[in-house]
Amino acid sequence: MHTPILFVSLGPGDPELITLKGLKALQAADCVFCPATITRSGKQLSRSSDIVKSLGISVDHIFPFLLPMSKDRSQAFLAYDSVYADAINLYRQGRQVVIVAEGDAGFYSSIHYVYEKLQANAVPVEQIAGIPAFIASGALAGMHIVSQEEKLMVLPGNVSADELDDYLKEGFVLVIMKLSQCTQAVHQLISRSSYYAYHYFENVGTEKEYYTLNADELVEKEFPYFSLMIIRKI
Ligand code: SAH
């Protein structure tokens, strides 16, 4: 029997933040599937293939696939269905197949749909853990994200200012992923609650990495897709 199809977590952007196990899986792979997007100007972008390339993996082994970023996810699922079909074919030809995910492959990672579909069809799969963006963010800021009895809540961006306020009052430290989806709620919260520390992170682990705690700036900032916030009491 050959090795399972491996889902390798790449970490948040800095190529050095992959695990040794993930790196070895990439080095042994014949085909590494990497999601890519097309910018408005028609340029193909793939953060994951950039990471994989900078780890020394030959471009011949990199199979980029286009992932439409529209709100309507049905197009993305069509793309995943074709990755699924290609991965099975290559696997049956005896090739070592890797499918990558940014951050951790099991943490708000829609590619997990392909994992589940392979598993449901009795194709052996295995997931290799990685560093999620919020953990790398904490390190960038030198934070102790949660300590002692503190509780952590991770939210995927579909929240109101009132909800955020309630969770904070209950004593949770909050991580908000997909921050661009709740820009208004976050602006509102910052403008009315100055007694929390708002740690903002953008493009962590890349050349465009940015971190700030400056609430005056954040209260009117637009948040790009690759941004997150950690909110805790001061
Ligand atoms: N699997 C990823 C999460 C994917 S969901 C993980 O484990 O981290 C996509 C969201 O993750 C983005 O909207 C953003 O909130 C966050 N994110 C991913 N990479 C990031 C980065 N390098 N810097 C800041 N936020 C990032």
Residue 92 is classified by DSSP as H
Residue 178 Cβ < 6 Å to ligand 1 = yes
Q: Which of 74, 106, 128 is the last residue of a domain?
A: 128
Q: Which of 102, 128, 154 is the last residue of a domain?
A: 128
Residues 118, 20 share a domain: yes
pLDDT tens, residue by residue, 34-63:
999 988 888 999 999 999 999 999 999 999
CATH code assigned at 82 = 3.40.1010.10
Residue 225 Cβ < 6 Å to ligand 1 = yes
Note the residue count of the chain: 234
pLDDT tens, residue by residue, 185-207:
999 999 999 899 999 999 999 99
Confidence of residue 1 (pLDDT cuts 50, 70, 90): low
Characterize 117-132 residue by residue with b for buried, 16 or more Cβ atoms within 10 angstroms of its Cβ, and e for exposed: bbeeeebebebbebbb
Residue 201 Cβ < 6 Å to ligand 1 = yes
* Average pLDDT of the residues in 211-216: 97
List of E strands, the chain: 5-9, 31-38, 44-45, 62-66, 97-101, 125-128, 151-155, 172-176, 196-202, 210-212, 227-233
Residues 213, 150 share a domain: yes
Q: Which of 97, 113, 128 is the last residue of a domain?
A: 128
List the domain range (segments joined by +) for residue 218. Answer: 133-233
pLDDT tens, residue by residue, 137-168:
999 999 999 999 999 999 999 999 999 999 99
Residue 73 is classified by DSSP as T
Task: Please state, in angstroms and rounded to a whole number, the distance separating the CA atoms of residues 2 and 39.
Answer: 37
* Average pLDDT of the residues in 179-189: 97
In sequence order, the 6+-apart residues with CB closer than 8 A to the CB of 11 are: 17, 18, 19, 22, 51, 102, 103, 130, 131, 136, 205
Distances (CA, A) of 15 to 23, 49, 99, 131, 231: 10, 11, 16, 11, 27
Distance of CA 201 from the midpoint of ligand 1 (Å): 10
Task: Please state, in angstroms and rounded to a whole number, the distance separating the CA atoms of residues 136 and 201.
Answer: 10
Q: What is the pLDDT of residue 143?
A: 96
Q: What is the pLDDT of residue 131?
A: 98
Residue 190 Cβ < 6 Å to ligand 1 = no
Query: Atom 24 in ligand 1: which residue has the minimum CA distance?
Result: 227
Residue 159 Cβ < 6 Å to ligand 1 = no
Task: Please state, in angstroms and rounded to a whole number, the distance separating the CA atoms of residues 33 and 87.
Answer: 8
Q: What is the pLDDT of residue 72?
A: 77
Distance of CA 15 from the midpoint of ligand 1 (Å): 15
